[in-house]
């Protein structure tokens, strides 16, 4: 049987900004939602970026676990659920003792039962530019929900609500890759 293939835009092998604890973050290329004001519009196009097989992606994840001691993987995009092998990838991640957090522009009710049972936490809902969330970490708009599928991240629920210092991570691997909180200049009212 042929291994699933994934259209990867970016991978950050060790981050502390894309969820609680040390994580590997995967940004998938392609999104059919195209939310106005999205922080990743460069990932909208449904075009090949870096095509990796399930085995190749698992090798990166396993090596990262050994090298950096990551606790889990975060799926971002683009729209991760456009990847046909995502449930299979999540199952293999769980078998490796890691957790999986899925960010999706879809409502959890729209996802397949197979995928829902293989991830630990779903952050669902499209980004709404006129409904910004300034209370939660990593969550763009107030309509987006934290849905705990397993208890793995329930103990970290406060991570999403506790104010934390603004953080930016830079990785130099071929290209400059910056992730983290958006730091915006605020002007005083005159």
pLDDT tens-digit map of 86-135: 999 999 999 999 999 999 999 999 999 999 999 999 999 999 999 999 89
Token pair 């991640």: residue = 93
82/33 Cα distance (integer angstroms): 11
Note the pLDDT of residue 190.
Answer: 36
Q: Which domains does the chain have, with CATH numbers?
A: 5-179 (3.20.20.70)
State pLDDT tens for residues 45-95: 999 999 999 999 999 999 999 999 999 999 999 999 999 999 999 999 999
Which backbone phi and psi does 58 adopt, to 5 degrees? -65, -35
């Amino acid at each position: 049987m042929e291994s699933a293939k994934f259209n990867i835009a970016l991978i950050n092998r060790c981050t502390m900004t894309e969820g609680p604890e040390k994580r590997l973050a995967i940004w998938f290329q392609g999104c059919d939602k195209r939310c106005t004001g999205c922080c990743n519009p460069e990932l909208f196009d449904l075009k090949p970026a870096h095509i990796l097989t399930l085995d190749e992606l698992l090798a990166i994840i396993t090596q990262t676990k050994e090298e950096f001691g990551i606790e889990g993987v975060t799926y971002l995009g683009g729209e991760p659920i456009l990847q046909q092998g995502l449930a299979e990838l999540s199952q293999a991640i769980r078998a490796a003792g890691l957790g999986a957090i899925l960010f999706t522009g879809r409502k959890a009710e729209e996802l397949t039962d197979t995928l829902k049972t293989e991830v630990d936490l779903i952050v669902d809902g499209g980004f709404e530019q006129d409904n910004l969330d300034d209370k939660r970490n990593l969550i763009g708009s107030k309509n987006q929900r934290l849905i705990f599928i397993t208890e793995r991240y329930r103990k970290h629920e406060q991570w999403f609500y506790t104010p934390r210092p603004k953080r930016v991570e830079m990785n130099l691997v071929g290209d400059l890759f910056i992730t983290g909180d958006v730091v915006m200049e605020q002007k005083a009212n005159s």
